[in-house]
Amino acid sequence: MTKMIECISPVDGSVFATRPCASAEDAAAIVAKSRAAQPAWAARPMSERIALVRAGLERLGEMNDEVVPELAHMMGRPVRYGGEFRGVNERGTYMAEIAEEALAPIIVENSEAFERRIVREPHGIVFVIAPWNYPYMTAINTVAPALIAGNTVIIKHASQTLLVGERMVRAFNEAGVPGDVFQNVFLDHDTTSSLIASGSFDFVNFTGSVGGGQSIERAAAGTFTGVGLELGGKDPGYVMDDANLDAAVDTLIDGAMFNSGQCCCGIERIYVVESLYDAFVEKAVAIVSGYKLGNPLDENTTIGPMAHKRFADEARAQVSEAVAAGATPLIDPALFPADDGGAYLAPQILTNVTHDMRVMRDETFGPVVGIMKVKDDEEAIRLMNDSEFGLTASLWTQDAARAAAIGARLQTGTVFMNRADYVDPGLCWTGCKGTGRGGALSIIGYHNLTRPKSYHLKKA
């Protein structure tokens, strides 16, 4: 009997979509097609590959009216925010624009005696395992540059966003990318691990949990398959004495609460200098108290359900534990009658928190943020670094030199000043510690999706 994969909608708990799980034999056939198609795809002029990726992006954008409500059904993001195409297009277009430069040969010598150069060659098959929280934007980070660089791509999405890979592939195929060059697959965990362990892929990109990343590394052990991993996060914000307070509150609270807090680089803990602390907290409470929790298909909804009840349960547990240990909840649950104890979760701000509490230490991935008062930069740096994760840190000051000096001491992948919760395609998207390894986007993203080959040609 064929195993089925289900997407349970957080909107009402119904089964929104089902797809048959590929057998080991079917999955092997998909890999074989990808392997056979790769040399011809890589042999095409880069300009053709770039044009086809651009056409795929355009075709995907034409589907946005279908994509937005589909995402609301699958993972709960309110339709009022318009989906992900703006970010998808920004990232994909930027990677297309820099491709020629990023993949250009490095000429060491070109003389009468020698030609010495380093070129970038595609790995072969790139396997993208994409998450549910931003299923299009996280996927395009790898899909667009991998295809442009001459790799074939196989994509697998989380069951919560079951239809995304299928739709992305359809858009790119309809735009002219050959069917065997970009394929979608529905797999269970065991078959996924078996394929990786057998060396079916030449590079694996995974975005998801720390446990998931560990499973990928274990499966790839001994195969020498390259892996890129973006895993957990507990990103901090630090508001200094010279910060623009209104801008800091607006941005950090939005960074904590947008997408029901289900953002890779969402703000999960905030440190505020003593002189601004009370005002920051007051403004933050006013913003969050004005949200409307409800059905994401309703245009008036500003915060939808979490993608699954089990995710909401983890956030509730962290809040309950923190309150029992002395934290103060500042958001009145009565303001959010839609909180049903299931996937619909009222947002919460906590004060009187400490790093002994899981809510300030473990990834919450929900609409919850703890705010702590700090005396100075030294205390803030110590607290920001007191985490097993390192994706981004958001610093609020008018002094760029001060921000850079603090940033140099932070264990993180990206340092923001007066900004948060944004992926800049011109910069390398990377993390350290438990957040994983590797890097996407920018020129470095191309380097991770290709391998160097050296030519030493003696002419006489």
338-365 pLDDT, tens digit each: 999 999 999 999 999 999 999 999 999 9
Q: Report how far residue 347's alpha carbon sits from residue 330's, in angstroms, rounded to the nearest whole number.
A: 10
List all residues 6 or more positions away from 171 whose beta carbon is below 8 Å from its beta carbon.
56, 59, 60, 62, 63
pLDDT, residue 224, reads 97
pLDDT band at 198 (very low <50, low <70, confident <90, very high): very high
Architecture field, domain 235-425? 3-Layer(aba) Sandwich (3.40)
pLDDT, residue 240, reads 98
pTM here is 0.97
Judge whether 129 and 142 are in contact, CB under 8 Å: no
Find the mean pLDDT for residues 327-345: 97
Catalytic residue ranges: 230, 264
pLDDT, residue 94, reads 98
Question: Could you tell me what percent of the chain has a pLDDT over 90?
Answer: 99
Across the chain, mean pLDDT equals: 98
Q: What ranges do the domains of the chain cover?
A: 4-231+435-458, 235-425
Range 4-231+435-458 classified under CATH 3.40.605.10: yes
3-state DSSP assignment of residue 48: helix
Q: Report how far residue 329's alpha carbon sits from residue 351's, in angstroms, rounded to the nearest whole number.
A: 7
pLDDT band at 332 (very low <50, low <70, confident <90, very high): very high
Q: What does each C-alpha distance from 147 to 99, 129, 289, 306, 334 come to in angstroms? A: 11, 15, 45, 32, 50
Question: Could you tell me what percent of the chain has a pLDDT over 70?
Answer: 100
Find the mean pLDDT for residues 322-347: 98
First to last CA, the chain: 66
- Angle (CA) 25-139-67 rounded to 5° is 100
Find the mean pLDDT for residues 389-403: 98
Residue 460 has pLDDT above 90, yes or no: no
3-state DSSP assignment of residue 305: coil
pLDDT, residue 1, reads 76
Q: What is the pLDDT of residues 429-458, one digit of tens each?
A: 999 999 999 999 999 999 999 999 999 999
